[in-house]
Amino acid sequence: MPTLLLNASEVVTCEGPPRARRAPEMTDAGVRANAAVAMGDDGRILAVGPDRELRAQYPGSAEIDCARGVLTPGFVDSHTHAIFGRSRHAEQELRAAGVGYMEIAKRGGGIHSSVRDLRERSEDELVALAASRLARLAAHGSTTIEVKSGYGLSLESELRTLRVIRRLAAELPVRLVPTFLGAHEIPLEYREAPRTREDYIALLVEEMLPAVARESLARFCDIFCEPGVYSAAEARRILGAARGHGMALKLHADELEHAGAAELAAEIGATSADHLAAVSELGIKALAASGTVATLLPGTMLFLGRSKQAPARAMLDAGCAIALASDFNPGTSPTVNFPLILTLGVSQLRLSVAEAFVAATVNGAAALGLAHEIGQLAPGFSADVALFDVEDHREIPYWYGDHRCVATWVRGRKVLPAGQWKT
């Protein structure tokens, strides 16, 4: 029996071609007033249209009253680090006192402290921690969530992290996309004789990537390509090996300082280049001329207290396809609130509301290679839907920091409140 979502004041459809959109295509989010959405038994959208038409077309359907709220495609959060142990709240005050993100890492904190923590936790513990965090992300309207490893940095603990993601993907009602980020840092034990960074890179290429591929644990391979972490030359080697194992590619590119990572991402055909606050003009040109999605993470720069955001308008003008994501992680972006990312997209990156919605849905889907399946409310697409308690879609980024999402559906099935998720 189909299900009709009726009595919505607006439906943001984002309907259009199933691929990354660029300006000027991004300026139309396909908003329809007083429309309804029909979801089929197969978990796909059947139709979007006036209530009366859909009722006539699908008699005997289950009906859900949207109470004049706004329906949108579920957000596609294409960049998170959701598998970690404890929070890192102490670092926030340290940064406020003038100790930079990289300096904290040099002192053995930052990513290293999450690594020490994660290595001591069991698979069950990590599943329980991540499930409650993913439930919070879903409660704000995210229905597809990319999840990276990267706090294990050893063969055993990276595999354990990816197995946690696989378990969560099978058991939770949201769609998860796994990414291997063994190249998130050089672990501390590879910085002193007898072990070297080259030994860790050899471990990544010769043991970790083959093991991840053997168990089909990751769709993507990512790397933190940044001065002081991995160089562009090292990224080229590691990502080349990942491609050889059938993985698609992502980069943490030019996040804090320029590293030529955007240029590399475009050259090697990465699916996305993420962050880009320190992208060069050449990097922008290279991305614009490529099929690589530029994924911007404005929550990160806000939380780090940095005034410089990615040059989104220049990127749009140059012809880049832009996606928005949360970068949810314990160090640089501990927010689960995707509508807040829309707010920052508008107020910090100067996107229009329509551009922000397309960036958060269709282009997020393209950043995961899933634009043919999710990201729009249009016939044939997965029925991944979010309902907001607002009358006008522009209020979703406007009421910043609020929690207006009142329901989500994934593959046409209502996502239950967190307490009712089973793992």
Give the residue ranges of the annotated binding site for Fe(3+): 79, 81, 252, 327
- Angle value at C-alpha 341, between 302 and 415, nearest 5 degrees: 140
Rank residues 333 and 408 by Cβ distance to ligand NIG and give the closer one: 333
**Closest Cα partner for 168 from 123, 212, 121, 210?**
123
Question: In sequence order, which residues have a C-beta less than 8 Å from that of residue 233 and are 6 or more positions away?
Answer: none
Eight-state DSSP code of residue 230: B
Query: Rule CB under 6 A: is residue 330 a binding residue for ligand NIG?
Result: yes
Residue 102 structure tokens: 């990289």
Query: Rule CB under 6 A: is residue 334 a binding residue for ligand NIG?
Result: no
Query: Rule CB under 5 A: is residue 146 a binding residue for Fe ion?
Result: no
Query: Rule CB under 6 A: is residue 144 a binding residue for ligand NIG?
Result: no
Site string for ligand NIG, 227-246 (x = CB under 6 A): --------------------
Alpha carbon separation from 328 to 130, 165, 213, 278 (Å, rounded) = 12, 15, 25, 20
How many chain residues interact with Fe ion (CB under 5 A)? 1
Query: Rule CB under 5 A: is residue 255 a binding residue for Fe ion?
Result: no
Q: Which residue carries 């990097």 as its tokens?
A: 283
330 binds, among Fe ion, ligand NIG, none (CB under 5 to 8 A by kind): ligand NIG
Enumerate the known binding-site residues for 4-imidazolone-5-propanoate: 88, 151, 184, 255, 332
Query: Rule CB under 6 A: is residue 311 a binding residue for ligand NIG?
Result: no
CB of 304 to ligand NIG, least distance (A): 8
Q: How far is the C-alpha of 380 from the C-alpha of 12, rounded, in Å?
A: 16
Query: Rule CB under 6 A: is residue 255 a binding residue for ligand NIG?
Result: yes
CB of 143 to ligand NIG, least distance (A): 22
Q: Tell which one of 22, 44, 160, 252 touches ligand NIG (CB under 6 A).
A: 252
Query: Rule CB under 6 A: is residue 110 a binding residue for ligand NIG?
Result: yes
Query: Rule CB under 5 A: is residue 15 a binding residue for Fe ion?
Result: no
CB of 333 to ligand NIG, least distance (A): 6
Virtual CA dihedral for 182, 187, 191, 197, nearest 10 degrees?
0
Query: Rule CB under 6 A: is residue 80 a binding residue for ligand NIG?
Result: no
Q: How far is the C-alpha of 33 from the C-alpha of 149, rounded, in Å?
A: 41
- Angle value at C-alpha 348, between 347 and 352, nearest 5 degrees: 50
Q: Are 191 and 227 a contacting pair, CB within 8 Å?
A: no
Q: Are 383 and 44 a contacting pair, CB within 8 Å?
A: yes
CB of 236 to ligand NIG, least distance (A): 19
Alpha carbon separation from 422 to 17, 311, 406 (Å, rounded) = 36, 42, 20
Rank residues 23 and 304 by Cβ distance to Fe ion and give the closer one: 304
Rank residues 73 and 152 by Cβ distance to ligand NIG and give the closer one: 152
Alpha carbon separation from 149 to 71, 81, 294 (Å, rounded) = 32, 7, 21
Three-state DSSP class for 2?
A: coil
114 binds, among ligand NIG, Fe ion, none (CB under 5 to 8 A by kind): ligand NIG
CB of 91 to ligand NIG, least distance (A): 8
Query: Rule CB under 5 A: is residue 327 a binding residue for Fe ion?
Result: yes
Provide the binding-site residues for Fe ion, judged by CB under 5 A.
327
Residues in contact with ligand NIG by CB under 6 A are 81, 110-111, 114, 224, 252, 255, 300, 327, 329-332
